[in-house]
Amino acid sequence: MEIEKVAKLIIENFPRDHKEKDPFKVLITTVLSQRSKDENTEIAAENLFNKYKTPFELSKAKEEDIYELIKPAGLYRQKAKRIIEISKIIVEKYSGIVPNSLEELLKLPGVGRKTANIVLYVSFSKPALAVDTHVHRISNRLGWVNTKTPEETEFKLMEILPKNLWGPINGSMVEFGKKVCKPVSPNCKICPISKYCKWEGKR
Ligand code: SF4
């Protein structure tokens, strides 16, 4: 009960609005976001989608064609390869429509559980819990879980959080993790859920 209350407090205090819901754009933007800051991901995604709007268009591009466009997001050679491979598979195997199941999304190259769950929640409104480093770290600090990997955290959180919070908790914990519960030197003095936090390093 307390966990649900605290999760709702995080969601209320650190809302994250997902303006883009198009499944293909959400999928490709999430690939671009790997090891990239939000602001850089946004620039790269905007550059890319200004020129290539659909999987059909991107599937015909060459990797070199998109290097400059996505460079701001970093790892651009690796990401270009993945993005074009994904676009080709979506065109050839799924007739240009991004699949809406975890199982099918996980078959796409470079798509892990976090990316797949973001697409399922943001684009298809399915209950899906995406766990990245922020969600993993904060859930452990709060004492909700005692886990070693994001995947372990995902399964534990699914046991203890009601389904309607699975989707929104990701974006809100990312905001909370960037603004307050940072990896190094968390700002516990201004933390709205400090009294519920079990972390021994609490400052
Ligand atoms: Fe994070 Fe500190 Fe808040 Fe605990 S009290 S959740 S460590 S910011």
State the DSSP string of 92-111: HHHTT----SHHHHTTSTT-
Q: What's the pLDDT tens digit per position in 97-148?
A: 999 999 999 999 999 999 999 999 999 999 999 999 999 999 999 999 999 9
At residue 188, the pLDDT reads 96
DSSP assignment letter at 109: T
Residue 66 pLDDT:
98
Q: How far is the CA of 59 from the centre of ligand 1 (A)?
A: 44
Q: Which atom of ligand 1 is nearest to the CA of 201?
A: 7
The residue whose C-alpha atom lies closest to atom 4 belonging to ligand 1 is 197
Please report the pLDDT score of residue 17 as a whole number: 86
Burial grade of 68 (CB within 10 A; 0-12, 13-18, 19 or more): exposed
Q: What is the pTM of this model?
A: 0.94
Residue nearest to atom 2 of ligand 1 (CA): 188
Q: Which two tokens stand for residue 18?
A: 């997902």
Exposure on the CB side of residue 125, measured as CA atoms within 13 A? 0
Q: Which residues line ligand 1 (CB under 6 A)?
A: 141-142, 180-181, 186-188, 191, 193-194, 197, 199, 202
pLDDT beneath 70: ranges in the chain: none
CA–centroid distance, 176 to ligand 1, in Å, is 10
Residue 142 CA to ligand 1 centre (angstroms): 7
CA of 29 to the centre of ligand 1 (A): 29
| Residue nearest atom 7 of ligand 1, based on CA coordinates | 202
With beta carbons less than 8 A apart as the criterion, state whether 98 and 119 touch. yes
